[in-house]
Amino acid sequence: MPLKRSLLKLPWRVCQLAHLEKLYVCGNSLRTLPDAVSQLQGLRTLALDFNKMEDVPPAVCQLTSLTRLYLGSNRLMSLPPEFRNLQSLRGLWVESNFFMTFPRELYDLPHLKSLQIGDNRLKTLPQDFQRMEALRGLWLYGNRFDSFPRVLLRMEALEILDLDRNKISELPSLRRLKALRLFSYDHNPIKEPPKVGEEVFLVGEGAAEFLELREARKERRQKAAEKEAEELALVEEEPTKKAGPSSR
């Protein structure tokens, strides 16, 4: 259910839609939500981005069936302790807010797989960040990192990592991140790509040349393997040819 009318308040009738599963109220002028929103216990997706919220409305923290929550482009600086109630949450978007420290309330969300926290004011990540074991996609672009957060090297289940538009000048080897499939480091003062696994797609300075060279190496190895297989097959056929047909 989309609502976009430069709303200052959520219409009370919305809170009576007991079977509502999706509610989009993006691009309004909402500063909070009425407590009655907590009655929407069937809600799975709630989009509140591009509003004027300085705090997460208390009613949102009671929507325990939420799996996707969009809070980007508001005025948030922190999350309330009650945010831990959102145990079903799988995707969270809090980009373009004012977070200066990472919200540890997210540690207690066991199913959170995707976290968009780009365009904030983060400079570091907590040393126990690896507690977010379910995380598969992490977007940290447009923050204030001046060095690679080394705690990320312990996030071995991470598949997508985006560090675009920070101030990082050097990258460690990322080969230990066996599940990594996409790493983006564009618009950082980095001169060469990091060492990564064979299946990782890179985006950033020197990445295109690196990927071309890697593909060329793969092709050479494949051709060499095919040639070796052909030669081995010929060697195995040779004794048969020399023996010829048996005579009586």
pLDDT in tens, 58-88: 999 999 999 999 999 999 999 999 999 999 9
Tokens 């990540």: give the residue. Answer: 125
Contact 133, 112 (CB under 8 A): no
CA 170, CA 13: separation in Å to the nearest integer? 54
- pTM score: 0.85
Would you write out the chain's pLDDT as a tens digit for each of its 248 residues? 566 568 899 999 999 998 999 999 999 999 999 999 999 999 999 999 999 999 999 999 999 999 999 999 999 999 999 999 999 999 999 999 999 999 999 999 999 999 999 999 999 999 999 999 999 999 999 999 999 999 999 999 999 999 999 999 999 999 999 999 999 999 999 988 999 999 999 999 889 888 888 777 766 776 777 667 777 777 777 665 555 555 44
Distance CA 100, CA 120 (A): 7
Is 148 exposed, middle or buried (CB count within 10 Å of its CB: 0-12, 13-18, 19+)? buried
- Are 89 and 111 in contact, with CB atoms under 8 Å apart? yes
> Are 129 and 155 contacting, i.e. CB atoms less than 8 angstroms apart?
yes
Helix ranges restricted to H, the chain? 207-243
For 12-206, CATH gives 3.80.10.10
**DSSP-assigned beta bridge partners for residue 201:** 182
* Chain centroid to CA 19: 30
Q: Is the dihedral of CA 211, 114, 29, 16 positive or negative?
A: positive
71 dihedral zone (left: phi>0; alpha: psi -120 to 50; beta): alpha
3-state secondary structure string across 140-178:
CCCCCCCCCCHHHHHCCCCCEEECCCCCCCCCCCCCCCC
Q: Are 118 and 145 in contact (CB under 8 A)?
A: no
Q: How far is Cα 117 from Cα 138, in angstroms, rounded to an integer?
A: 8
Confidence (pLDDT) at 247? 47
CA pair distance 21, 180, nearest whole angstrom: 32
Starting at the edge strand found earlier in the chain, the sheet holding 22-24 runs 22-24, 45-47, 68-70, 91-93, 114-116, 137-139, 160-162, 182-184, 201-203
- Look up residue 24 and give its DSSP letter: E
Q: What is the pLDDT of residue 227?
A: 67
Q: Which pLDDT score, from 0 to 100, does residue 193 have? A: 92
